[in-house]
Structure 1
């Protein structure tokens, strides 16, 4: 079934809920305005720059990956006192990066929702928290925020996985994610892929080699 992508509605309808139950997702264009996207990109830059400056000033810690880490988690990360952290690919030295260089070299930024007022606002956005609550059927509680980057030429692959394999939150039917592209996301540059309806199979076995990934013979 080809995905149906429509311009963002004013509210969630029964048809959207039906698609969500059947396919495991709904996709909308123009959920955020151009100004909101621009503000989010600027805020992401400011948080990234701040973390590197905190590292330079000794206010953030540089932590190396633990022994036995999977390939996608083998790189260093910079962790601020409040818990916000930025991850890099293996072989990258954050001390050698300027804030501007770090912005285009990081792999993942997480737990940044309290680090900038723009993200605090997005968490409460009617088209994010409001829509998720309408799809799930309950008031939402934020569990995590992540910004995933794909650095040119060095970005590692993200294998097939179920999000909850990383977190183990229950009950599964009340766990949801909101994914927003801040840059143009295309097949050629590594956009998000989903397997429609696979949530109906329930939790699948994962193993840890490249990342936390579904065992290959379980994907059909």
Structure 2
């Protein structure tokens, strides 16, 4: 079967813009659910964390970089909207027909929070798998550019060995040595509703949000179904545990 240009770029560079994955007519529905999770109207329990917790917070900022794992488990109506199926089709184009959803998450940068996401490779967070195929579909719910925190990638870094990672200064996240001066470092601005896909081994980061607007991103990660099963057998479920299920079930009537 002939490989698409997008799949070729993904294979060669470790990332590829994939165009629109949420049509304009559906954007507001995603933003409304996203904001309900951010505000706490939809309870996220212990699945909410700060990816920038190693940096002192500014007054009025709850988290420097808000991360909420498993929004689709916390609020199952998300699965009735078109993104998950569209992203699955993209994932299967990029890594194979056996791709399935491994997990999803929200990463939010509030206005003027101005905290960069440390350079890292996602695989450094994960248990090692015999099949390394994995793709994250990073979806912009707002226009994303270098000033509010669009993604940066290092071209071809997925073809190199995993770099040494260390804990951030508070020990809650990880980072590695890299910068925007690295050869091949490339920003990927997106319009709202568009997405960029990256490999689990691709070096990436994003600047802090220095603008007065919000930067809402929704990320869906996919890998081969057999590897998801192996992960679960090893106890790795990216936070989909009984606490999440209890939160989801207790909030079902309010959804």
**Bigger-Rg structure (1/2):** 1
Distance 1:159 1:138, change over 3 A: same
Aligned equivalents of 1:113, 1:155: Cα separation in 2: 27
Aligned equivalents of 2:110, 2:95: Cα separation in 1: 33
Aligned equivalents of 1:125, 1:53: Cα separation in 2: 20
Q: Is the 8 A contact 1:161 1:212 kept in 2?
A: yes
Aligned to 1:149: 108
Within-5 A mapping of 1:55-74? none
- What is the count of residue pairs matched by the alignment? 172
Aligned equivalents of 2:65, 2:15: Cα separation in 1: 28
Distance 1:123 1:164, change over 3 A: farther
Aligned to 1:19: 9
Of the three residues 73, 79, 90, the one matched with 1:131 is: 90
Aligned to 2:45: 79
| Greater relative contact order (Cα < 8 A, sep 6+) | 2
Moved over 4 A (4+): 88-92
Q: What is the Cα deviation at residue 150 of structure 1?
A: 1.1
What value does the CA root-mean-square deviation take over the aligned residues? 3.1
Of the three residues 158, 175, 182, the one matched with 1:213 is: 175
Distance 1:144 1:169, change over 3 A: farther
Provide Cα deviations, 1:152-177, integer angstroms capped at 9, x if missing partner: 33353211111111123424531111
Please list every run of 5 or more consecutive structure 2 residues that lacks an aligned counterpart in the other structure. Answer: 184-255
Distance 1:212 1:172, change over 3 A: farther
Q: What is the Cα deviation at residue 20 of structure 1?
A: 1.3
Provide Cα deviations, 1:103-128, integer angstroms capped at 9, x if missing partner: x9761111211222442235873320
Within-5 A mapping of 1:162-177? 162-171=121-130, 173-177=132-136
Question: Larger % of helix: which?
Answer: 1
Verify: 1:109 aligned to 2:68, yes or no: yes
Aligned equivalents of 1:26, 1:53: Cα separation in 2: 32
Q: Secondary structure at the match of 1:185?
A: coil
Q: Secondary structure at the match of 2:68?
A: strand
Aligned equivalents of 1:202, 1:138: Cα separation in 2: 26
Aligned to 1:46: 36
TM-score, normalized by length of structure 1? 0.65
